[in-house]
Amino acid sequence: MKPQNKLLIICGPTATGKTALSLKLAQKYDGELVSADSRQGYRGMDIGTGKDLPGKKFIFEILQFTVKYKNNIYTVFPYLLNNIPIWMYDVVRPDEAFSVAHYQALATAVIDNIWSRGKLPIVVGGTGLYVKSLTDHLETIHIPPDVTLRRHLQDKSLDYLQAELCSIAPMIWDRLNASDRQNPRRLIRKIEIVNSHKTNKPACEREFFQTKHDVCAIVLSTALSVLYRRVDARVDRRIEQGMIAEIEDLLRKGYTWDLPSFAALGYRQWKSYIEAPDKDKPQMFIGAVNQWKSDEHAYARRQVTWFKKNFSAQWYDICNKSYRVKVEKLVDAWYTHG
C-alpha cells in the first residue's frame, strides 16, 4: 500500500531512542526519515548533534534537489543510514542562518518529494517548534526581524515593553503566560509581529498546507531520572567519539564562538576548556563535562514540558518493555486505514 499524504512523527525529549525506532518503522513501511532537530542542519557539526552517521557519509545523490527560499537556493539530499534515506542533515554552513522558517520551507518540500515517490515520510526529532511547523499553520515564523525596531526597543525597560504590547495588542497580551510577560526578548518579538506588514507565505508552504494530512504523532519519553542517566552516558560516548576535535576543526576552518550555531548544546560548554592554558585543562575538562550534562538535563525537562503543553500525540514510556510492540500496533492500524 502506498501512503497518500500520511505523515508519521516520532518526537520527544533527547536520548529516548527516536532515531532507532524510526529506522525500524521505515524498514517495515518503506519510509524515509526527515530530521526535526534544530542543530542537525549545520554541516560539520556531527558528533555534538547526534547525526549518528557512519565515518564515511554516503550521499544518495540521485534524490538530491534544490529549494528556493527567500532568494536563496538550498540543496537538500538524503544520507543513507542503515540503507534508509535520512533528510535535513547538513543543509547550511555553521555561519549561515537557519531558523524554523527555513526548516519549514525545506522540510515541506522534502516531504512532498517523499510522497511523490510513494514513500512514507517519518519526521524524527526533539525540536518541538520544528515538528509543529509541519502540522500547524505557524503564521508568524516568516515575519523577519525588524532590526530598526529591535534597536529602538532593546534598551527599554520591562515595564515599557509590557505597556507597549498591552496597548497595541491587548488580546495577545492577555494570552501570554507569566513567564513570557517577564521576558523582554519575547515581548519585543510580539511587538515586532504586531507591527509587521503581513507578507505572503512561500508557495511551498501554502501548497503544503492546502492538502489535508493524515498524521500519526508519537512522543517517546520516560521518567526524568532515567533520561538523565541516558543523557550522561551519551555525553560520555560523544566525548570518546571526538567531540573536542570536532569543535577544534570547526574553529580552524574560521567559524567562531559567537555564531548562533555554536550556542548549540555540546559546543558552547567547551569554550573555556579550549581557550584555557594547558596547565588548567584537566580541571576545565571536568567542568565542561559537568556543565554539558547539566545543560542537557535542563533541555530534557524543557522538551517534556513543551510537548505536554503544545503538541497532541500518543505518549509511550520507553521503560515499558512492550512499548515498541504497542507503537508498531498503533502505526500499523493507522498506516493500513484509509
Q: Confidence class of residue 322 from pLDDT cuts 50, 70 and 90?
A: very high
Give the Å distances, CA to CA, from 206 to 109, 122, 202, 215: 11, 21, 6, 18
State whether residue 8 is helix, strand or coil.
strand
Average pLDDT over residues 275-283: 97
pLDDT given at position 177: 78
CA distance linking residue 198 with residue 218, whole number of Å: 33
pLDDT given at position 194: 83
Find the angle CA(35)-CA(36)-CA(39) to the nearest 5 degrees: 90
Q: Tens digit of pLDDT for each residue in 150-183?
A: 999 999 999 999 999 998 888 788 878 787 899 8
Does the pLDDT value for residue 241 go beyond 80?
yes
Does the pLDDT value for residue 222 go beyond 50?
yes
Average pLDDT over residues 187-211: 64
Give, to the nearest 10 degrees, the angle between helix 18-29 and helix 323-335.
40
pLDDT given at position 195: 84
Phi, psi values for residue 316, rounded to 5°: -135, 135
CA distance linking residue 165 with residue 248, whole number of Å: 43
CA distance linking residue 36 with residue 208, whole number of Å: 17
pLDDT given at position 137: 63
pLDDT given at position 134: 93
Average pLDDT over residues 14-32: 97
Does the pLDDT value for residue 200 go beyond 50?
no
Question: Among 91, 117, 118, which Cα is nearest to 104's?
Answer: 91
Taking the domain 227-299, which CATH number applies? 1.10.287
Average pLDDT over residues 203-211: 51
pLDDT given at position 178: 80
State whether residue 278 is helix, strand or coil.
helix
Does the pLDDT value for residue 250 go beyond 60?
yes
pLDDT given at position 199: 46
**Domain coordinates in residue numbering, the chain:** 6-139+203-223+311-335, 147-195, 227-299
pLDDT given at position 209: 53
| Percentage of residues of the chain with pLDDT beyond 90 | 75
pLDDT given at position 327: 98
pLDDT given at position 212: 64
Taking the domain 6-139+203-223+311-335, which CATH number applies? 3.40.50.300
Helices and strands (H and E) in the chain: how many: 14, 9
User: CB neighbours of 46 closer than 8 A, spacing ≥ 6?
Assistant: 53, 246
Q: Confidence class of residue 44 from pLDDT cuts 50, 70 and 90?
A: very high
The average confidence (pLDDT) of the chain is 91
pLDDT given at position 117: 95
pLDDT given at position 203: 47
Q: Confidence class of residue 189 from pLDDT cuts 50, 70 and 90?
A: confident
Q: Tens digit of pLDDT for each residue in 78-104?
A: 999 999 999 999 999 999 999 999 999
pLDDT given at position 198: 45
Pick from 45-54, 88-97, 255-264: least confident: 45-54
Does the pLDDT value for residue 36 go beyond 90?
yes
